[in-house]
Amino acid sequence: MSLDSHIERVLWTPDQIATRVFDLAAQISTDLSHFSEPPALVGVATGAFLFLADLARQITLPVTVDFIRAESYGSGTLSSGSPTISFDLKLDVTGRHVVLVEDIVDTGTTMAHLIAHMESKGASSVSVCTFLDKPSRRKVDFQLLSKGKFYRGFECPDYFVVGYGMDFAERYRNLPYIGVLKPELYK
């Protein structure tokens, strides 16, 4: 059975994703152009790997790229609560402008934790660039650090989505679009 046959509904196609990423990268390139130090793009592994790769290639400024891993999910579709950092940055972000690049912000718990972590490492400001945002599910209203900005690709309806980096039980990350699985597969 092909991967596509697991999907009930496509929410964003590869073309729609590419157009939105292009616009986000243009906005970020403009907003960050006045920093003397190259901004630090920090991808939240694993979900942000495709978004970060696409976004970074469209940003026209010098940037550094690094990854961080925060675990908050088991293998199901519900968050387990407080996240832990299981893989930390390699680069020093002291005095740097950090852009946290995320696949999706849901309750906001992970983002609040990551922003606090970047602050504790001495980042001079922290922005968030998430491809999807589910504001209807927010539990934690995270504050951006200093003059940080919030960028988002699309507002996501309250579905558990997969593709473009996002998984269900570690599968479907390689789908080039974002969709919803057939209900019988969410087990």
The contact set with Mg ion (CB under 5 A) reads: 44, 47, 103
Cβ of 69: how many Cβ atoms within 10 Å? 14
The interface with ligand 5GP within residues 101-160 (CB under 6 A) comprises 102-111, 160
Give the residue, chosen from 49, 73, 154, 177, that forms a contact with ligand 5GP under the rule CB under 6 A: 73
Catalytic pick among 54, 103, 106, 133 = 106
Active site residue 106: yes
CB of 3 to Mg ion, least distance (A): 20
Cβ of 34: how many Cβ atoms within 10 Å? 7
The interface with ligand 5GP within residues 1-20 (CB under 6 A) comprises none
CB of 106 to ligand 5GP, least distance (A): 3
DSSP string for 89-125? -SS--TTPEEEEEEEEESSSHHHHHHHHHHHHTT-SE
User: How far is the first Cα of the chain from the last one, in angstroms, to the nearest whole number?
Assistant: 18
Catalytic residues: 106
